[in-house]
Structure 1
Amino acid sequence: MKKRYAICGVSGRALGMFAKPIMSTFSARSELVGLLDRDQARFELFRTRFPEQQEIGTYGEHDFARMVEETRPDVIIVAGRDDSHAKYIIAALEHDLDVITEKPMVTTGEDARRVMEAESASKGTVTVTFNYRYAPIHTKIKEMLLEGKLGRITSIDLNWYLDTYHGSSYFKRWNRVRELSGGLSIHKCTHHFDLVNWWIGQQPVEVFAYGALNYYGAEGEANPSKEDGRYCTTCEQTAECDYYSRWNSRSKNIQVQDDHLGSLGAVKSKFPYSDYRPDQCIFDSQIDIEDTYAATVKYSGGALLSYSVNFSLPYEGYRLAINGTKGRLESVEYHMPSRTPFPTPVQTIDYYPLFGSKETIHVVHREGGHGGGDPLLLEDLFMGEDRRRPYRILSGAVDGAYSVATGEAVWRSVKEHRPVTIGEVLKGAFSEKVLSLSGKGVAGE
């Protein structure tokens, strides 16, 4: 019998990452039965992309109960704007349905606690789609740590870089409003915090951070003029905007699309939404989030993370080092060689035993998004987790909550100029009852 899926939030991610695979690669065992969104135009976009699927039921943002009653889904996929996640995750759990949700699971520690409580009272479970775990280079690091190559983990250095193409895209879209995204310490950095949690098998305890808005917003140094309400596809100052000029030809007929829009990009400056444009000016005064962070995180097993992220740099990627009582590993990744203005090496892992010779490890690369992680994640989601792995890799609600709480603690520490504990962000959400739920385990298990 096919498993039935309904999607809440008909985003580009929902269409490409979930709807299309359900109706193609995994159609033998999966079926899409319903779509829910606040914008009717998104249903038209779905029908345009998938003209053979005209009969799938569509529902407004307040019609969740009716959708469940009429379509009888087994699983709810939550892939809309971040601030909508909690509402639909909790509603699904109240109907005893399983949930697959995009990261971040929610946008606040309070909502993370509410999700945990709803899951503990439900027959359903929550899966958070942290696809970075599935990149072959990242699973190899996990395996090395499980093998004890580094001994007890003492510290981690993780510096993440987003280039002016990708980094600026968050400031064109709804992500730039904290109320909608939780800020980038949640929307984006939860990916990074989850990776560290999973790699080292420890839980974050306390955070201290600094952060600032250095590049974007009205005070951005590259702002051609202080003026609100501009849009990239109609702006008359694009020639004076370095961020626009770097990635776009002077000819309006040759225009690089934002990598998060893909086939949803503008056609003659028109977007397939009723009340939203993803080409807003990156120098608008509406922006109320940071674009630069530096943080220290203390973990339950004694490890310390030194983390930074910057959303406006010449190239994209990260630099990682993990230190332990038996050695150290290092890895450097350039995410988008095609956008990097210099030659980039293939990513490897350098292993330095505390007493011995350096080893360089070459990892088999895979095709697909997020370093080859997306196809593997989809197989686990729609075919069941591959039990041959000696470790858990699908993320649960506890994992999602820890990553969100770390991101909120970063922001609160920036604003309050003090260390912030994960406990105060989650307010006791991780009771013994919650943590003992089968299949809903702690990060790194």
Structure 2
Amino acid sequence: MKRIAIIGAGQAGLYLGISLVDAGYAVTLFSDRTPEAILNGKIMAMPLLFPDALQLERDLGLNFWDEQFLGCDQFHNNLCDPQGNVALVVSSTLEKPWRGVDQRLKLSVWMQEFVRRGGELVVQAMTLQNLEEYAQNYDLVVVSAGRGSFSTLFERDEQKSQYDQPKRHLAGGIYTGLKGDPMKGRTFQVSNIPGAGEMLQFPFYTNSKDSAYTVAFEAYPGGAMDRFGKVQSGQELVELSKQVIQELTPWNYETVKDMELIDEQAWVRGAITPTVRKPIGRLPSGATVMGIGDTVILHDPVGAQGANNATKMAHLVAQRIVEHGNQRFDESWMQEVFDEFWQYCQHGHALTDCLLTPPAHLQEIAIAMAQNPEVARDYLNGINNPPNLSPWFFDPEESKKYLAKKTLLNSIEPEDRPVAPIAG
């Protein structure tokens, strides 16, 4: 039986661990915190999962909150002028729900589920010497420790990493007490303000009995929204969030004026430099470990790709481990698996880049989304599966061709539109 060690109990590490335990592997998961400490600790992020990643969780029997929480079924994007006035609205019904669950609840439950299914959970602070030991005692060591210190074991890939500093300063919390029309219909709402940043509001599942929502900010460094860098407490974040919303999008203030954090730990601020690292980590002894998830592909959350990619990468790695049988997990295998995933992930990476630094042709796409439901639907399906956005979303010339085709089809009566042949 192959013995696998996984360092880190986040979305990727836990999904991989449970997948391998179910496949009959001896898996040890190392976490620096107990399930109880995670449940009662500070939030690390407020991830939103899209249908494909949610289905992978469902296939593994990890969808413990499906019946209690339906998630988002509406998308509403306010594109504002620099003064905060709404200039354009993109609104659409989602074909399948998007869902956000408090990671503190999710990861603590998944850790207990990992043990229940037969995995070994070890809670300890990890050192480089520990990694050296595990590299000798296990057939494969997978590092899924997010942005922690072990990420420096993995060399930055300069060709795939175009940023050397954060493009947004981040802040947000999980709240109760939101009200008003923007929150009806389980809506994911984002407001874009040129030169300032993005504001997001969407329903979120927590341990709270009350309806909860995420309110988050993606602020341009030095812009009008960038005021959260010195926040030291949850209450300070609440008051400053209300102030920023009242000043920059006053039409939305009534929705948030009575909001309160669900608990004093339910807030976060920080900044992320989008980075891609090489998948092979080399220890001082010469032994190698494999990186997955945020350890090697770190996104700014503006496109909400992080947790979705972590799930999909863990799923692929689990499949390739099983297929590899009794062969050694050498460097060439690690690189091949990463390269295979990058063929998918490069599109999510490009999506995030476009949202962080919008190219000129994105304005034409936004106008088309507001006017043509099919364009909006293609974009939303592309958020779920970014390869669907290539090449029309990324390339200006391809975008013109795509929009011209959609405009032509939109001018034809439905009964006269060409019908695509059914694949046999």
TM-score, length basis structure 1 = 0.30
Q: Which has the higher helix share?
A: 2
- TM-score, normalised relative to structure 2: 0.32
